[in-house]
């Protein structure tokens, strides 16, 4: 590697981190830093060519059609009040368990995160409403903070996961297999979080005995208010199941490709929206859904375009190839390399959301770990899982700061203390995925058998 290449790498990395530090948009930060690197290595003409070609090549990639379709499907489902139906059902079924409202919030976060593909957006949306409901039900604000911050990470594994789709695009892994592979780990994570909620809520209840005449205990100086069970909307929940079967079930049974399945799911969500919306509101509901879906899609594609420019610079510099060759030549133990690669993802949560982390880290880590003989589908789920863990890992987990902005009275200290039990649950889940890889690979390889 030449001196000029090393200088270019240093300049690009410093510029990128500086732009992130001043809260410049991540996609634009990647693009600008990558373009500066291209100018240093190949001149301004190459940079102009890159910035003019990359947006088109990203948007014209047929495999990425699945992204706006899944986003549209999710937005239509939310506007058809299907996520609310799932949340209400969970609230009704789980309300008698310790932390029942927190468990219902966990299910709501999982549904919303799966729809948006963004952990940060989920936390920002769920923070205020969930916190008020959980505290009113008699639990502490620390539990509320932990549930909301951790719950936002669930959408990366539970299909339809935009993050897993993007991982498949940047690594050329089978997208259908990745989506199926996320089901087992996603359910395992939900179970681990649910157990954590019950344990924490039970401990809180023991610390604050139940006053006479109430259904719960005093928390933060206030008694629990009676909670009226929400009305059940079994039809809405049934429609939610239909969308899942249409979009993910068709992939599992080999009826449709992932892109076709996403289109089926979007069409099903549109029909359900029309069924559940009164005729005068049809046009406004559809219009609002399309506008929201276009905004989310534009944000995602801007991130991908910026990541494409940055990745092109890394390819020009030879840094990616040099890194892969250096690690493979070191002849380290495979699981040591795996552990180091996963740990390296944690600091990225200080600056980036899940999508950005995957777009930057996956092209670098995937070839290294595949070179050590690890299964690409299993790796995809593991990397995505740890990337989202980074968003709740102290001292600068991004989800904690987003939650703090929405619920300032919580305080960062209490927020991180509330998150710690969920980090322990995540570590247990990651350990199980490493020790029992069939949790990840069973469904995708069964479907292709």
The model's pLDDT over 26-61, given as tens digits with 9 standing for 90+, comes to 889 989 999 999 999 988 888 888 888 888 888 888
* Token digits of residue 142: 């620390």
pLDDT of residue 224 exceeding 80, the answer is: no
**Alpha helices (runs of H) in 65-182, residue ranges in sequence order:** 66-79, 82-94, 100-116, 119-136, 141-151, 162-171, 175-181
Residue 56 lies in a domain: no
Tell whether the torsion through CA atoms of 14, 19, 25 and 29 is positive or negative.
negative
**Per-residue confidence (pLDDT) for residue 208, from 0 to 100:** 57
Under DSSP, is residue 34 helix (H, G, I), strand (E, B) or coil?
Answer: helix
Neighbour count for residue 202 (Cβ, 10 Å):
13
Residue 3 lies in a domain: no
Residue 57 lies in a domain: no
Residue 374 lies in a domain: yes
Residue 54 lies in a domain: no
* Token digits of residue 18: 């500086």
Residue 428 lies in a domain: yes
Residues 6 or more apart from 312 whose CB is under 8 A from it? 34, 38, 50, 54
The number of distinct structural domains making up the chain is: 1
**Mean pLDDT of all residues in 328-333:** 83
Residue 21 lies in a domain: no
Residue 42 lies in a domain: no
| pTM of the model as a whole | 0.82
Q: How far is CA 135 from the centre of its chain?
A: 26
**Per-residue confidence (pLDDT) for residue 223, from 0 to 100:** 45
**Per-residue confidence (pLDDT) for residue 348, from 0 to 100:** 78
Using the structure block, give the residue that is written with the tokens 């899944």.
70
Tell me the pLDDT band of 114, cut-offs 50, 70 and 90: low
The model's pLDDT over 365-377, given as tens digits with 9 standing for 90+, comes to 899 999 889 999 9
Higher pLDDT, 109 or 209: 109
pLDDT of residue 280 exceeding 60, the answer is: yes
Which residues make beta-bridge pairs with 222? 219
- Full residue range of the structural domain in which residue 331 is found: 64-447
Higher pLDDT, 222 or 382: 382
């Amino acid at each position: 590697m030449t001196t000029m290449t090393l200088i270019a790498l240093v300049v690009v990395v410093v510029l990128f981190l500086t732009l992130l530090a001043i809260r410049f948009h991540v996609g634009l930060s990647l693009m600008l830093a990558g373009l500066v690197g291209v100018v240093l290595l190949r001149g301004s003409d190459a940079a102009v060519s890159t910035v003019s070609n990359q947006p088109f090549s990203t948007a014209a990639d047929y495999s990425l059609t699945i992204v706006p379709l899944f986003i549209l499907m999710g937005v239509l489902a939310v506007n058809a009040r299907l996520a609310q139906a799932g949340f209400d059902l969970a609230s009704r079924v789980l309300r008698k368990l310790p932390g029942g409202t927190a468990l219902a919030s966990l299910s709501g976060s999982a549904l919303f995160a799966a729809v948006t593909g963004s952990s940060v957006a989920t936390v920002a949306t769920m923070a205020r409403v969930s916190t008020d409901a959980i505290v009113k039900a008699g639990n502490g604000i620390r539990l509320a903070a932990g549930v909301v911050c951790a719950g936002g990470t669930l959408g990366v594994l539970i299909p339809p996961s935009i993050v897993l789709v993007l991982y498949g695009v940047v690594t050329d892994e089978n997208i259908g297999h990745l989506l199926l592979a996320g089901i087992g780990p996603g359910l395992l994570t939900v179970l681990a979080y649910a157990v954590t909620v019950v344990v924490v809520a039970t401990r809180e209840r023991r610390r604050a005995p139940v006053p006479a005449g109430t259904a719960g205990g005093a928390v933060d100086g206030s008694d629990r208010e009676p909670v009226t069970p929400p009305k059940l909307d079994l039809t809405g929940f049934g429609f939610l199941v239909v969308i899942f079967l249409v979009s993910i079930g068709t992939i599992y049974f080999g009826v449709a490709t992932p892109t076709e399945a996403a289109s089926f799911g979007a069409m099903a969500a549109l029909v359900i929206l029309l069924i559940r919306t009164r005729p005068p509101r049809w046009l406004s509901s559809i219009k609002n859904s399309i506008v929201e879906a276009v905004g989310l899609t534009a944000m995602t594609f801007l991130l991908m375009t910026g990541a494409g420019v940055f990745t092109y610079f890394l390819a020009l510099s030879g840094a990616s190839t040099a890194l892969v060759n250096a690690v493979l030549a070191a002849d380290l133990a495979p699981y040591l390399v795996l552990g180091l690669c996963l740990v390296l993802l944690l600091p990225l949560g200080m600056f980036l959301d899940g999508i950005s982390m995957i777009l930057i880290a996956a092209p670098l880590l995937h070839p290294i770990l595949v070179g050590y003989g690890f299964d690409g589908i299993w790796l995809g789920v593991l990397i995505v899982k740890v990337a989202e863990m980074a968003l709740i890992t102290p001292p600068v987990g991004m989800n904690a700061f987003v939650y703090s902005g929405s619920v300032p009275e919580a305080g960062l200290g209490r927020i991180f203390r509330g998150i710690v039990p969920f980090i322990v649950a995540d570590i247990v889940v990651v350990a199980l995925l490493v020790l029992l890889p069939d949790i990840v690979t069973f469904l995708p390889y069964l479907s292709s058998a």
